[in-house]
Each structure stands twice: as structure tokens, then as C-alpha cells.
Chain A
């Protein structure tokens, strides 16, 4: 167990940022803290770093079993990369990375040659060796983020904390950098927590994802677990696009507009009013119905990009919904606006608690 947070509560005035949160991170793990803004994910990260302190009470923060709840940030040996990098603007890239080593007390400070060697090694790791003499303002956003990472890694942290590491970058650089981060983590295996509001990023990069909502951890698990078995409508909705179909639950299946669909998880509970959750890619569109299917009207179609999107309207007066098709399926079907089709729903999910997205 490398990082453990127990019962942490943090209030700012009347706003509860964290509501008795507990979290365990295994050594060498890469964990994403995912949630909408205001869910407390950054506060949790800052509490682990020692930049915020939990409200007095039963709260504890442990690093490798050692209680650091009251330890100041400067003595925790955590690495922290800030959302807007917070590079020292008056120092070169080299000096930024060397800072954590240079401020050590004389007894533990490595000699100058060793500092140089370590910074050079890190510059190589982040592929910015030629930029050593530049100032942060002379770098691009992606380069700055890599310098911020190298600076955090230079002190050989017990845990690496990244606050929205790719938040301020444009879409293309983001994707490159997060793949690079995953590779880097596989190389150096430092326990890492990173905050993001981008579910795609969390699912792609991390070993486990913790989903936060209003200061509480709603669900924690591997990306597959939380995507395939979301614990609540909130998690389901937050992880991707969703279509809602209202109907009834009877004999372990979902009755929508007179048609019965199998539920992804069997339930024996009967409900007179239920809401079924279906992902846009779990809907099959056909011209002729071969099994249980709903009739629908094509409103709009868009085939630009890797997947094609169809907007449909239920013929029996229900709501609009969205379907994603592969390009091949789309080419085969060639649906035209105004045309009638049939849709088969797969992986229909019903939550025990009432719908509250």
C-alpha cells in the first residue's frame, strides 16, 4: 500500500469539497481521479501533497504506512505537477528541474556533478535535451508540461501527483502526451495519481479510475469494470454518451413500447416505471426487424470521422436517441433522413435507485 487516504473531510466555508473520502493506491499503480468540476478531485490531490490539510477529525493520510497527515508539503517527498505547470519563470529549464535537488540541506544535497547528471538524464527522458537553456516562456504548452513532470520526478518522489496534466493543451498534443505518460509510467513505475475531467483520458491511461461526485468517491475500479458495470446512473452518464428509454421491468427484462429487451444484469424486481440506459454503440439498426426491435425514424446522419452517428426518433412517440455505427455498417445501411428503420437494443442497463442524472 503506497498511498492511503482515510476519512478525509475538507470544507471551504459552507462548501464541502471532500466528504469523508477514503482511497487506497497500490505501489506502482496509475490511478485517475475523474469527476466534474467541483467534485473535489483537485482538493483530494492537494491534500495528498500537503498543500491542503484535512479538517480535524479522524482524517489520516499515509505514505507507505507512515502517517503524514500533519507533515508539511516540503517534507512529504511527493512530486506535484500543476495544471498550469507553475514553472519558475525566471529559471531555465535546467534550473527548474534541478530546483528540488538544489534546495536540499547540505547534508543530503548531491554534489554538483551528480545534480547535472541527474538533470541531463531527466532531460533525455522528456526528450528536451536541446531546450535545457531556454526559459519556460520559450516553450510550447506540451514542452512545459514535460518540464513540470521532470521537475517533479527529479526529487525521486514517493508518489507523483498530476493535476489536470493535459488540461491546458490542444486535443492533438493531449493525446500524444497521455500516451507518452503511460509509457513513462511503464518505464519508471512510480505510484501516480492524476486528476482529470476527461473520461476518455482516464479510461485510456490509468490502471484504476476513481469517480468523484460532490466530494465523495462514487465508484473505483479498472477502466473495464467501471465502463461495463457502472455503479450508478451518474457514473454511467459521466463515462460516455447515453440514451434513455422509459418503460417497465417485468420478469427480468425491460419492456419498452411493447417490445421486450433482455437486461444486461438480471433483476427479479418488477418496476412499473423504469429508465433503461443504452450506449449509442449498443444499438443495432436494421431495415427489417429480425427479433425484438423498436421502429424509429431517421432524422439526421453524419458519417464524418471514425464512427458514423445517426439521430433517430421513436415512431411510438418516445424521445429522440443517438446511434453510433462503424463506417462499414453505415456504408451497408446508407440510411436517409425520413426513412423508417428498426433498432435492437443490447446491454440494456437499469439501476435500482431512481434515475437522477
Chain B
């Protein structure tokens, strides 16, 4: 074939297309469905919380938040979160460290146990504590010493007149139980991916175990840890089911923020309930904002380490 036989042709310009791109109709349709769904089920309820909260005016809003019972609920929620988050932070780091950096028998059992609070209904989590610490429970006041599981623990609790169920300790215990997978679950895959070689390098260079932990391990996991803490905190403040079982719902004493909202709602004080709910909704928005920021930071620091 001679060159003259082919007529000169302009190269055809095709719009850039990827193999996985759908037609514009399908794309817009899918995005539309997602947006409508999001609006209906997330945005509208969220907006309505704030609208309802201020439905009786700002004065009523402030009055509701200033109520002593409301104030006590806020304080109790902060206390429960303030105890359970640091404890689960320590536990989570320890568990993730052990699982990611060492091989031992029963590792999978430990992994499964860590997930238990995720897989069991919060109500049952609460029931567990009632069964153990309740008046008729294994360690309860009215259990005869012969049938008690740990008689010494039972007598210690009775002697010191420590009340667990329908009191603050029970609420804290239930919150710890429900939130304990968050930090560990966040750190385990991260620490597994990072491996042990940096720690080994630190040890060979003469660092003690403690120095290795603070100078090498913690800086490498700090963003993952913060992410876990944020999620753990959000859940600790918002927990309803487990706390509801153990709290006894004594207003001004054992009501947490979510329980106080329920109480106001049951009193047909809708504006009051939503005013309190707006606090939790606000917390959720702050959590989301923080979460996005940490994810961004985490991705950036992972990029830094990726090529190692």
C-alpha cells in the first residue's frame, strides 16, 4: 500500500473516558439518590433538632440547660467519659501493642473478646452488670455468702457500703464496657502494618523498653490513637442502652445526658428534650470535624512513612 492511497485524516479527538465510567444519566441518577437519602435521613433530622430546641425561644433554651437536673446530667456524662476514655486509651494501646508486636497462644481469642462489646446489644451489656453487682447478683448485698462467687469481694463491697447498680460506679463500668473496643480496634491494624522493625532498631541502639515506647511507638501511632479517642469519647457521651439499665434514672443523681433527654421527652417537654439533644448533636458535629481533621493528618503521616 502506497502512502498516497490513504487520504489524510485528522486524528479524531475522543473525550477522555475511563473504563469504569458510567453514562451521565446513570451518574447523575446515583448522585441524586444519594443526596436525597442523605437529606431525608440525616440533614432534616439534624436541622429539626436545632429548630425544635429553639422553638420556645432562647430564654427557654438557656433555662433548660441551666436546670440543676440538666446540669447534673451533663456533669455525670462528662465524668463517665472522663474516666472511661483514659482507661480505654491505656487498655487499647496495651492490647494493640500485645497483639501487633508479639506472638502468643490465644491471640485470636483476645481479638474476638475485644470485639465483644461491638457484637452484643448495649442493653445486654447493662444487664451483665446488674447480674453481677445487682442486689440479687453474684456480688450483691442480698446474696448469701455461700453462693457468692467471690465472697471476699462481696464482703469488701458490703463492708465499704459501695453501691454500684443504680449509682455512678455502675454507669462508669457500663460505659467502659461499651466503649472499650474503639481505641484497640483503631490501633491494631495500624500497628500490625508498621511491624516491629523500628522498635527492634531502637532496642539495638540501646533504648530501653520505655524509651522505645515513648520515642518510637507513640509518635508513629499518635494520629490513629487520637482518632480512636475521639470515637471512644463520642460513644461514651452518647451511650444510652447499657447506661439506661444500670442507672436507675434518678433525676439529678444518676441520669446522664441521653437519659435526661428521654426523661424530658417522657414529660412531654419536647422543646426541653430537644434543647438537651442539641448539645449531643453539637458534640456529634464537633466529633465529625475533628475526625475529618485527624483522618487528613493521619493520611499525611502515613504518606510520609509509606515509602519506607
- Interface residue ranges of A52-111 to B (CB < 8 Å): 72-80, 82, 84-90, 99-100, 103-104
Which of chain B's residues have a CB closer than 8 A to the CB of A76? 204
B3 interface residue (CB < 8 Å to A): no
Contact between B306 and A74, CB atoms less than 8 A apart:
no
B191 to chain A, nearest CB (A): 14
> Which of B126-134, B147-155, B213-221 contacts its partner?
B213-221
Give A50's nearest chain B residue, CB to CB: B204
B107 CB–A CB distance under 8 Å = no
Whole-angstrom distance between the Cβ of A141 and the nearest chain B Cβ: 9
> Which residues of chain A are within 8 angstroms of B304 by Cβ–Cβ distance?
89-90, 135, 137
Asked whether, in the complex, the Cβ of B220 is within 8 Å of the Cβ of A73, the reply is: no
Q: Are A74 and B207 in contact (CB under 8 A)?
A: yes
Whether a CB of chain A sits under 8 angstroms from the CB of B198 is yes
A30 and B206 alpha carbons, distance in the complex (Å):
23
Please give the distance in Å from A311's CB to the nearest CB on chain B: 40
Residues of A within 8 A of B208 (CB): 74, 103
Contacts of A50 in B (CB 8 A): 203-204
Q: Do residues B308 and A103 form an inter-chain contact, with CB atoms below 8 A?
A: no
Given known pairs A84-B197, A88-B198, the reply for A137 and B206 (CB within 8 Å) is no
A137 to B300, CA, bound (A): 12
Could you tell me the distance between the alpha carbons of A210 and B60 in the complex, rounded to whole angstroms?
85
Whole-angstrom distance between the alpha carbons of A170 and B229 in the complex?
42
Complex: A154 Cα to B303 Cα, angstroms: 28
Contact with A77, one of B206, B306, B307 (Cβ below 8 angstroms): B206
User: CA separation between A118 and B216, bound complex, in Å?
Assistant: 22
A73 near B204: Cβ-Cβ < 8 Å: yes
Known: A90-B220, A103-B215. A49 touches B305 (CB 8 A): no
B201 and A86 contacting across the interface, CB-CB below 8 Å: yes
A86 touching B207 by the CB < 8 A rule? no
- Find A103's partner among B211, B219, B220, B305 (CB 8 Å cutoff): B211
Q: How far is the CA of A49 from the CA of B303 in the complex (A)?
A: 31
Please give, as numbers and ranges, the residues of chain B lying within 8 Å of A75 by CB-CB distance: 206
A151: Cβ under 8 A from any B Cβ? yes
A51 at the interface (CB under 8 A from B): yes
Question: Is residue B40 within 8 Å, beta carbon to beta carbon, of the partner chain?
Answer: no
Contact A51 B200 (CB under 8 A): yes
A262 located at the interface, meaning its Cβ lies under 8 Å from any Cβ of chain B in the complex = no
Q: Which residues of B contact A298 (CB under 8 A)?
A: none
A152 proximity list for chain B (CB < 8 A): 204-205
- Bound form: Cα–Cα A149–B301 in Å: 24
Interface size on B, residues (CB 8 A): 23
Say yes or no for B202: interface residue by CB 8 A criterion.
yes
CA distance A103 to B201 in the complex (A): 12
Given known A86-B197, A88-B216, A90-B219, contact A78–B308 (CB-CB < 8 A) = no
A86 B206 Cβ-Cβ under 8 A: no
Chain A CB count within 10 A is highest, among B206, B208, B308, for: B206
With both beta carbons as reference points, the residue of chain B lying nearest to A87 in the complex is identified as B308
Q: Which residue of B lies closest to A72 (CB)?
A: B203
How many of chain A's residues touch chain B, expressed as a range?
20 to 34
Contact B207 A82 (CB under 8 A): no
> A73 to B197, alpha carbons, bound, how many Å?
13
Which residue of chain B has its CB nearest to the CB of A80? B204
Chain A nearest CB from B193 CB (Å) reads 12
User: In the bound complex, do residue B211 and residue A88 qualify as a contact, i.e. CB atoms below 8 Å apart?
Assistant: no
Q: Determine the chain B residues whose CB is within 8 A of the CB of A215 once the complex forms.
A: none
Complex Cα–Cα for A7 and B304 (A): 43
B205, B219, B306: the one within 8 Å of A151 (CB): B205
Contacts of A73 in B (CB 8 A): 200, 203-204
Interface string of B273-308 (1 = CB under 8 A from A): 000000000000000000000000000010111111
Bound complex: CA A154 to CA B202 (Å): 13
Q: Mark B167-186, 1 if CB is under 8 A from A, else 0.
A: 00000000000000000000
CB within 8 Å for A103 and B205 given contacts A87-B308, A90-B301: yes
Whether A155 sits at the interface, judged by CB under 8 Å, is: yes
The chain B residue with its CB closest to the CB of A96 is: B201
Interface positions of A from 131 to 151, Cβ below 8 Å from B: 135-137, 144, 151
Q: How far is the CA of A154 from the CA of B204 in the complex (A)?
A: 12
Q: A85-B308, A90-B301 are in contact. Are A99 and B200 (CB under 8 A)?
A: no
Complex-state Cα separation, A155 to B201, whole angstroms? 12
A135→B215 CA distance, assembly (Å): 16
Residues of B within 8 A of A49 (CB): 204
Query: For the complex, what is the distance from the CA of A309 to the CA of B217, rounded to whole Å?
Result: 52
**What residues of B have a CB within 8 angstroms of the CB of A155 in the complex?**
205-206
Query: Which residue of chain A has the shortest Cβ distance to B215 in the bound complex?
Result: A103
Contact of A99 among B197, B207, B301, B308 (CB under 8 A): B207
Which positions 278-324 of chain A face chain B at CB distance < 8 Å? none
Q: What chain A residues lie within 8 Å of B198 (beta carbons)?
A: 86-89
Least CB distance, A123 to chain B, in whole angstroms? 17
Q: A82-B197, A84-B197, A103-B215 are in contact. Are A89 and B308 (CB under 8 A)?
A: yes
Known: A90-B301, A137-B304, A137-B308. A80 touches B201 (CB 8 A): yes
- Bound: A76/B207 CA distance, A: 11
Q: How far is the CA of A224 from the CA of B220 in the complex (A)?
A: 46
> A11 to chain B: closest CB distance in Å?
14
Select which of A78, A89, A100 is within 8 A of B220 by beta carbon: A89
Question: Assuming A90-B220, A90-B301, A103-B215, is B306 touching A137 (CB within 8 A)?
Answer: yes
Min CB gap A202→B, angstroms: 23
Closest 3 interchain pairs by CB? A100-B205, A86-B197, A89-B305
Could you write out 28 A-B pairs with CB less than 8 Å apart? A72-B203, A78-B204, A80-B200, A80-B201, A82-B200, A82-B201, A85-B308, A86-B197, A86-B198, A86-B308, A88-B198, A88-B201, A88-B202, A88-B215, A89-B198, A89-B220, A99-B205, A99-B207, A100-B206, A103-B205, A103-B208, A135-B304, A137-B303, A137-B305, A137-B306, A137-B307, A137-B308, A155-B206
Q: A86-B200, A103-B206 are in contact. List 7 more A-B contacts (CB 8 A).
A: A51-B200, A73-B204, A74-B205, A74-B207, A86-B201, A89-B220, A154-B205
